[in-house]
Amino acid sequence: MKKIVLAACLALSFAIPSARAQSAAPVSADTTAAVKDLLEAMHYRDTMRQTFAQMQKNMPAVMLQGATASIRNNKTMTDEQKNAALANASREIPQAAAAMEAVVNDPTLMDEMVAEFIPLYARHFSAAEVRQMAAYYRTPVGAKTI
Residue 19 has pLDDT above 50, yes or no: no
What pLDDT score was predicted for residue 7? 47
The closest of 28, 56, 35, 52 to 115, measured between CA atoms, is: 35
- 71 pLDDT band, cuts 50/70/90, is very high
SS (H, E, C) 47-110: HHHHHHHHHHHHHHHHHHHHHHHHHHCCCCCCHHHHHHHHHHHHHHHHHHHHHHHHHHCCCCHH
What 8-state DSSP symbol labels residue 25? S
The closest of 77, 68, 52 to 4, measured between CA atoms, is: 68
What pLDDT score was predicted for residue 24? 56
Residue 14 has pLDDT above 50, yes or no: no
Supply the pTM of this predicted model: 0.66
Residue 70 has pLDDT above 50, yes or no: yes
Q: Parse the chain into domains and list their residue ranges.
A: 2-9+29-145
